[in-house]
Amino acid sequence: MTLTEMIDTLKTKFNPSKVINSLEKTAGFHNKSDTDSEGNDPGEDLKNNPYSDSVGDSVKSSSAVKISQNGVSPLIKMINVWKIYEMGDTEFAALAGINLEINEGEFLVVLGPSGSGKSTLMNLIGCLDLPSKGTIYLNSKDISKLAESELARIRGQMIGFIFQSFNLIPTLNAEENVTLPMEFQEADMQKGRKRADYLLEVVGLSDKKQNLPSQLSGGQMQRVAIARSLSVNPPIILADEPTGNLDSKTGNYILNFLDGLHKKEGKTIIIVTHDLEIVKLATRVVYLKDGKIEKIETCTKEKPCELGY
Ligand SMILES: Nc1ncnc2c1ncn2[C@@H]1O[C@H](COP(=O)(O)OP(=O)(O)OP(=O)(O)O)[C@@H](O)[C@H]1O
Ligand SMILES: [Mg+2]
């Protein structure tokens, strides 16, 4: 069965997002260290300029979702949002009354100690989970009580994920992993493959298109995951500790890449990180503690934000 046939079967028989979720869970073991078994430097084939002009504009600018901003409403608005986990007789509030507005084009860093609720917050913003209480508007649409299929559709169009566990599908090669989100969006697959090739070129992996995840180093897998996160050209990029386990060269590459996405492409970046160099790029920093927002700091060019705690 060809890849396209396999995906068509999956799409018709199952809920695509559930299939992807389960495949991704299976693939979780691919989160290995950033230096491969031969000791190669994962950053060795990185390009200096991730915005190489060598591929046509039609491929670069895929059909991005238009944001219906009216210049007033924030892109994301959270009103008194709670996430409560029940464990036996006890309840635990991972998020306890979050009020937060995020505007289009922001570079928002989320900081806070382990267990403070950062990933929980990202999961809610990324339509991966629903709040227990409260309201979340994404692009003026209330997403707090949607069915999973609708959440999956919005997630597929609006959000690019760069999470630490790369969640690549182990049986698909690099190019197929990058193409997959476009297949689920029913995109024109001739253009889709061109865009996948372009994105793999951008992340410096043109020569690894046919490699399975198990045939890539950790840094290379991270870069395939970045290429995949951009395949449907989402307006929002969510990143959870994207440079956590990487060597400094690959880490710097991701840093420059995120900066470019923000400044040159106007993407809204929301990122959990303890990397000071990334914090310096932020327009605002949100500090979480015990599921609550402790403070929000606005950063400027003259006075960039720091790891202020
Ligand atoms: N499914 C769950 N059931 C019960 N408690 C949970 C569940 N998921 C998360 N938690 C709890 O919610 C709190 C917030 O978790 P979260 O993963 O958001 O923290 P975090 O800030 O991302 O931490 P880290 O920096 O360690 O990644 C933690 O105390 C965690 O134990
Ligand atoms: Mg976390």
Domains of the chain: residue spans and CATH: 16-71+104-128+147-298 (3.40.50.300)
pLDDT-derived band at 61 (thresholds 50, 70, 90) equals low
Q: What is the pLDDT of residue 134?
A: 97
Distance 31 CA to ligand 2 centre (A): 15
pLDDT-derived band at 50 (thresholds 50, 70, 90) equals very low
Q: What is the mean pLDDT of residues 29-55?
A: 34
Q: What is the pLDDT of residue 46?
A: 30
Name the least confident of 19-33, 194-208, 261-275. 19-33
Q: Look over the chain and give the mean of its residue pLDDT values, rounded to a whole number.
A: 79
Q: What is the mean pLDDT of residues 218-245?
A: 86
The number of angstroms, rounded, from the C-alpha of 14 to the middle of its chain's C-alpha atoms is 24
The three state secondary structure string of 36-77 is CCCCCCCCCCCCCCCCCCCCCHHHHCCCCCCCCCCCCCCCEE
Measuring from each residue's beta carbon to the nearest atom of ligand 1, which residues come in under 6 Å?
85, 87, 92, 94, 112, 114-120
3-state secondary structure of 100: strand
Residue 54 has pLDDT above 80, yes or no: no
Strand order in the sheet with 236-240: 159-163, 236-240, 268-272, 107-111, 284-289, 292-298
Residue 93 has pLDDT above 90, yes or no: yes
Which ligand 1 atom is at minimum distance from the Cα of 122? 18
Residue 92 has pLDDT above 60, yes or no: yes
